[in-house]
Structures are given as C-alpha cells and as structure tokens.
Amino acid sequence: RTPPELSADIMDRGIIMTGGSSMLRNLDRLISQETGMPVYVSDEALNCVALGTGIAVENIDIYRKGFMTSK
C-alpha cells in the first residue's frame, strides 16, 4: 500500500531506525542485509519518539487531521 514515490525514496535513501530497539547490536546490519537497502541508526535514537511527540503537540493544529479520524 506504499505509494510508489515513497517506496522509491526509501529504496534510494534507506531506512533510519529509531528507538531503543534500533540500538540492538548489528540489527541495522541484519536489516540492511535482508532488504538490500542502506540502514542507519539515528544519532538520537532514544530521544526520537519523545522529540517527535513534542513537535507534534506543538503543531497540533497542523497535524489534527492526521490525529483525529471521524467514524
């Protein structure tokens, strides 16, 4: 279901891993080996979720449509 332009970007630029699990030894190498794509671990892997959440909350009006769905 991934749009072709997003798939192309991921294939070209690779995957950036974040969060605590991304710091498991050699997990980035394993994923790169299995997918054939470049894989990088963020410099701030442990802080990415908190920082991203903070940015989203600060810009709630911009992201509201993505956060809230009507049923």
Task: Parse the chain into domains and list their residue ranges.
Answer: 4-67
Cβ density class 12-51: b for 16+ within 10 Å, e for less: eebbebbeeebeeeeebeebbeeeeeebebeeebeebeee
Collect the ranges in the chain with pLDDT lower than 50: none
Residue 1's pLDDT is: 76
What is the rounded CA–CA span in Å between residue 2 and residue 23? Answer: 26
Q: Under CATH, which number does the domain 4-67 receive?
A: 3.30.420.40
Report pTM. 0.69
Residue 61's pLDDT is: 87
